[in-house]
Amino acid sequence: MPFDPTSGVMDIILGLAALATLGGLIRAWRTFWDDDFTVEDRRMATQVAVFLVPPVVVLLHELGHYFTAKALDVRVTGFDYGLFHGSVTVAGPRTVEDMWLIALSGNVVGAAVGLAMVAVGIAGGRLRRALRYLLVAGGLLELVFSIVVYPFLSLSARFGDWVLLYSRRTETLSWVLGTVHAAALLALFLWWRGRGKAALFAIGSGAEEEIGALRAAADAAPADPSGWLALADFYARRGELALARSTIEEGVAGAGDVPRLLLGLTRLSMFQGRWNDAVVAARRGLEGEATEDVRQPLWANLALALTQMERPDHALPAYGHLIPPVVDDVRVRYGRGLMRMESGDAEGGREDLDAVVRTLPDGNLLRRWAEARLDGHPLREWEDTRVPAYRRSSTPPPAPLAGV
């Protein structure tokens, strides 16, 4: 895995980071390996995966080149190892196919080590959580580097193994490798999206048994939305919204367009600020047969999503389907008030916003928004001053609505 001359500078920088990580690990040795796997422990495990695992895998990568060359009776004239990069130099008689196999071998070793680390980390239930988390995180990083990052760097800069691996001189071998490479990329992506991220979260959070029980219940009755919603709720309450979303989407794929599942997807989309996704999910849910306790929140969230998208022509008809008590929700009254004012119904809009002000206590954010709108301008203090200026929106949103 040869690098350009500047790799020496990178080795120094990364080597210093590795030394700092090693020092931190030694200082926190006892607490890192105890039964209480804290946020600090996860941070340390991630640092080890980034700065201490790669030098070991790089060495194994280069040894893969070395021993393959020896097995093919190709003379090795140089072996360079620099913690985060290395190279093997060969000379003497050799075929193009020999060089292709030598180039491939190191990358196969790197990917195999990463895969083995992930497998042991997931299957090793009796291992310490710190070690399991380190193995899975480090293995994933090595897999991503071996089949994504390094091929990209090699091909884009025209150096290293992958230039030879995808050479026209070995067209047949390159086509076979390309097919396997594409399949590996797809498999890694699907695994991470389906079970990989959930597995890493379960190990890091220490909630494997609870997640396993919820997962088993959902798998046992895939047509029942309650199992999927319970698992999604577990993830969402712990801030893992992406996992919650993928869980509900998996439930929809298995159970079909069940209105209760689509209501959960709609609410999650609202919470994430994905207004268009909320609209699509709500409309799909309304197309099915559902009781009024499901249809009303679907209509409400559809209306609120369209309000956030500033579409009064579509939002107001959705608000028209609402009945008490949903129609009296302050978020609904606020959203409908905005849309009424936007459509020219100033009196109706003020009536809704006045109701919000009367219902909520002083200092409530939604009440302050309603008061500002009644005064004819958006709330001036809508941005969090702790957020860097470059991350702030250029215009304020209609309101801090997270769905019903």
Q: How do residues 74-106 score in pLDDT, each as one tens digit? A: 999 999 998 888 899 998 878 999 999 999 999
What single DSSP character describes residue 146? I
pLDDT of residue 396: 47
Closest by Cα among 100, 99, 142, 94 to 117: 142
Q: Quick one: pLDDT band at residue 397, thresholds 50, 70, 90?
A: very low
What residue type is 373 in one-letter code? R
Distance CA 36, CA 99 (A): 49
Q: What is the DSSP string of 148-202?
A: IIHHHHHHHHT-SHHHHHT-GGGHHHHHHHHHHHHHHHHHHHHHIIIIIHHHHHH
Give percent above pLDDT 70 in the chain. 91
Q: What is the pLDDT of residues 327-343, one digit of tens each?
A: 999 999 999 999 999 99
Mean pLDDT (the chain) is 90
Q: What is the pLDDT of residues 285-305, one digit of tens each?
A: 999 899 999 999 999 999 999
Q: Whole-model pTM?
A: 0.79
Q: Quick one: pLDDT band at residue 386, thresholds 50, 70, 90?
A: low
